[in-house]
Structure 1
Amino acid sequence: MYERIGVHALVALGANLPLADAPPAETLRAALKALAAEGLSALAVSRFYATPCFPAGSGPDYVNAAAVLDAGGRDADSILATLHAVEAHFGRVREKRWGMRTLDIDLLALGDSVLPDPATQDSWRALPPEAQVRRTPDQLILPHPRLQDRAFVLVPLADVAPDWVHPRTGQSVAAMLAALPEADRAEVKPL
């Protein structure tokens, strides 16, 4: 667990393609080291989980994890730029939304920041599933607008930040996870 001192970044990590001969779990471990080398040290890292590919049928299953990072006083855009640089170093190519990847690191939250503003965050969070497939935000939305919907994010996040509270919904990670269907939670299996 992390302590509530300073501002921390919550991130989700995932991979479903090998990088060279390295399996996805090895890529996640190496990515955490690369983040630390870039000044984003992990204060807590979840277990690694096997999770079904999302959306279903779009590729091999994933290895997912979550981490609490020391933000080191950085703003969200700086953190996101670092996450993208580490993804690129590990072969991430942004060709298709929700496509297969060697590494995906999502910035889920930065303390209790709401970006770019409460109305925009609320609007993206309320977006119906059919619209989520067609629309991509042109700016960073924090907390991540799909956070509350995804067991593959919430199960690992509950390992490291179960008490973090969404600044717009007032729900903790533990409460958001408990609100998901049991079938969704059961698909996320510890490695």
Structure 2
Amino acid sequence: MSADPVRDRRRDRDPEGRARNARPRDASGRPLPYGESGVERVPEDLVLSPGDTVTEAQRLLDEGLPFQAHEVLEAAWKASDPATRELWRALAQLAVGLTHAQRGNSRGAVSLLERGADGIARWVGDAPAGLDLPGLQRHGFALAERIERSGTGSLTAADLAPALRARAR
């Protein structure tokens, strides 16, 4: 039972009256009870350049925070022009797949990893912001196949932090 049953029936609202979940979240993006401390939230109105988006999403992935990386990529998706919108959406889906894998949700991980990798595969043209689209596509499909075969139990931090840009060897 919640300490505040009235609050449970109300939706959190932003200053403009739109529904916004103000509950803190853990590192995997799961909501925590009001009053607990969670990880820093990505601002809902975040707008970054494509290069800064990729840099920030990579930092979050490298820190083991794929849910937060998803939020950064989702912000780019929502703010992008129609020409790149589906690519940013696919990248956000890939990050959600990584989030599900981190949480141990094999079914959700496989579905979103495949959907994200498929969206990346559909991209035609030069990759914005130095993205390694072939590498991300391979990573998404290979990780989905591995999870489908063996589950999420043997995943490493590196599995959940693919390189968004090609790394120097």
Give the TM-score of the pair, scaled to structure 1.
0.26
Specify the structure having the higher radius of gyration (Cα): 2
User: Which has the larger strand fraction?
Assistant: 1
User: Which has the larger helix fraction?
Assistant: 2
Give the TM-score of the pair, scaled to structure 2.
0.29
Give the structure, 1 or 2, with the largest relative contact order (CA under 8 Å, sep 6 or more).
1
